[in-house]
Amino acid sequence: MIVTYLQHSGILVENETHQLFFDVISDITSLINFDKKIFFCVSHSHSDHFVKSKIMIDHPKVTYVFSEDVPREGFENVFVLAPLEKVTLDGIVFKAYASSDLGNAYTIYFDEKTLFFAGDLNWWHWENNSEQANRAEEKLFKEIVATIDDRVFDLAFIPVDPRQGKAYHITGDYFLEQFEIAHFIPIHFGAKFDITKQFKAHRNSEEKVICISNSNTQILTL
């Protein structure tokens, strides 16, 4: 299995027979391999997670897994999941969970491994918010996380968002405290790649935290 970081929250996970793309917003033309079966999983419709023109591909090997809010016009072979629904496609299981913003987070069972893709499931904490508002965000986030069935993940793609200032690390910390994660991969940081190194340093150079230095880069082979 090879993991490629694309852009922002965009991820490609692939093996010899399948490609799984998550939240693509960039040009992936050079990465698509039509010798494999291709899945596009979209967490929600915000423009930093879904760009229709980047993933609309008319090909019999392409399948889509969308949250309920993602527009489906023009797409073929689309499966829509509400939170706590799941679907098995060509032996790959996608299970949806709620988000603390919009759409879904997903657990995926693929190639005998368990993956978690958070999308916008994040402990949102803003310095200009009231204490009451930030407490409400914390409560919502923790309530959703408590619904996640699996407690062990081979790969977890989790927001480490520099816009949250001093609170950039709290989502990552919480997931690493609540779950057993073999490989923690930061997402949702735009082009501020240094935040991945900062988070790893914050975690005392924890080996499971993967640093990312550029877009369209292979970051892990399992």
Percent pLDDT > 90 in the chain is: 100
Q: What is the pLDDT of residues 97-141, one digit of tens each?
A: 999 999 999 999 999 999 999 999 999 999 999 999 999 999 999
- Per-residue pLDDT, 26: 98
- Per-residue pLDDT, 51: 98
Distance CA 97, CA 115 (A): 13
Cα-Cα-Cα-Cα dihedral of 7, 89, 43, 217, to 10°? -10
Distance CA 147, CA 163 (A): 27
Average pLDDT, the chain: 98
Number of domains the chain contains: 1
State the CATH number of the domain containing residue 101. 3.60.15.10
Q: How far is CA 118 from the centre of its chain?
A: 4
Q: What is the pLDDT of residues 134-175, one digit of tens each?
A: 999 999 999 999 999 999 999 999 999 999 999 999 999 999
- Per-residue pLDDT, 2: 98
Parent domain of 47: 2-221
Q: Which residues of 13-47 are buried (b: 16+ CB within 10 A; e: fewer)?
A: bbeeebbbbbbbbeebeeebeeeebbbbbbbbbbe
Percent pLDDT > 70 in the chain is: 100
Structure confidence at residue 204 as a pLDDT band (50, 70, 90): very high
Structure confidence at residue 92 as a pLDDT band (50, 70, 90): very high
